[in-house]
Amino acid sequence: MKGFDIIGAPFNQLGCVTTDQNTVDGLRELDDKSWVGLTDWIQVRTQRWGADIVDLGDVILTTDIKNALDSDHKDKALMDYANTLKSKVLESYHHGRIPITIGGDHSIAVGTLQATMAFYQQQQGKKVAIVWVDAHADINNSLDSNLHGKPLALLMNLYPYNEWNMPADITINADDIYYIGVRDLMRNEYDLINELNITNYDMAFIEKYGFNAVVQMLMEKLERDYDHIYLSFDYDALDGSIFRACATPNVGGLTAREALHLVDSISSSDKFVGADFVEYMPELDDSGVSKELMVKLIDAVWGFRS
């Protein structure tokens, strides 16, 4: 039986809308807007269904990280936070478990994916596929704009600024990235995706071929060509005309059912080794519907598809 660790990463400081609220606790706790909280749902799955799920708590912002943010040293703040998160995720891997990290903005992937590449690619020589589900490519390799739009550029060592330098043996290769749901690119990102020939199942591709066919196409390739699969799911991949509880809602994305099918398909694979769920902001969730969907998506990772 698979064992899952929930790791909170409430680092929400590098996007266009920041918050000091703990976004992970917003998912954990019951409130008057929705019928479910992640903490109670973990109890349901462990006590009634025999699942092995442990909430390890949060990787908090240290005083040094807060001071770096206050003095506008955002790169240093991210480096320090990512290193702490990396250690927490590596600990989960070393215990033979599957880390599910809840953000936080998408910059937390700098920590989770460094850990994943260190454990599997560096230490074991394994090939890891990264499925990046997002309205945005997050591969901005320029100094313009916010760091939360640059995690893949950092992880691919394409961002030669402010002392960023990813070790070669944990760098992510362009061939191993699979975009799902992208529909809002910066020009330099568009050029990079084409130059590096990154697989991009964007919304136009999904519209042309159909979502089920795209998921089947994706999974056939991943099962054939990779040892392991990691999922990084940004809430704003969802259709922003309905799901607006984030800093950057974008109309025309995935439906709830499509997202559930995708997450279930990936996490059902024996090659699945971990996931991020990022960018959901409870304080923007007026109806509680988004919270219910986020809990359902995480529940699907645990093997409970509904």
Has residue 195 got a pLDDT over 70? yes
Domain count, the chain: 1
Q: Answer yes or no: is 306 within a domain.
A: no
Which residues 6+ apart lie within 8 Å of 201 measured at CB?
178, 179, 180, 181, 214, 217, 218
Structural domain including 286 reads 3-301
- Mean pLDDT for 214-234 is 98
Residue 256 has pLDDT above 90, yes or no: yes
Asked whether residue 158 is assigned to any structural domain, the reply reads yes
Q: Is residue 265 part of a domain?
A: yes
* Helix axes of 63-70 and 74-94: crossing angle, nearest 10 degrees: 150
Contact assessment for residue 206 and residue 181, using Cβ atoms and an 8 Å cutoff:
yes
Q: Evaluate whether residue 142 is within a structural domain.
A: yes
pLDDT for residue 306: 63
To the question of whether residue 236 is assigned a binding role by annotation, the answer is yes
In this predicted structure, the answer to whether residue 35 has a pLDDT above a threshold of 90 is: no
Q: What band does 174 get if pLDDT is binned at 50, 70 and 90?
A: very high
Bond from prior residue into 104 cis (ω within 30 degrees of 0): yes
The pLDDT score that the predictor gives to residue 17 is 86
Is residue 136 part of an annotated ligand binding site?
Answer: yes
Residue 169 annotated as part of some ligand binding site: no
Residue 32 assigned ligand-binding role: no
163 part of a folded domain: yes
In a domain, 245, yes or no: yes
Sign of CA dihedral 11, 17, 18, 24: negative
- Please compute the mean of the pLDDT values over residues 242-249 and round it to a whole number: 96
Domain membership of residue 48 (yes or no) is yes
Q: Which amino acid, one-letter code, is at 255? A: T
Residue 134 labelled as part of a binding site: yes
- Compute the mean pLDDT over every residue in the chain, rounded to the nearest whole number: 96
List the CATH number of the domain containing 221: 3.40.800.10
Does 38 have pLDDT greater than 90? Answer: yes
Judge whether residue 16 has pLDDT over 90. Answer: no
User: Is 75 assigned a ligand-binding role in the annotation?
Assistant: no
The answer to whether 109 and 274 are in contact (CB under 8 A) is: no
Residue 151 pLDDT: 97
Region of 58 on the Ramachandran plot (φ > 0 left; ψ -120 to 50 alpha; else beta)? beta
The pLDDT score that the predictor gives to residue 137 is 98
Retrieve residue 5's tokens: 């660790």
Mean pLDDT of 301-306: 89
Report yes or no on 79 lying in a domain.
Answer: yes
Q: What is the pLDDT of residue 19?
A: 87
Q: Which residues contact 287 (CB under 8 A, 6 or more apart)?
A: 33
Q: Residue 33's pLDDT band (boundaries 50, 70, 90)? A: confident
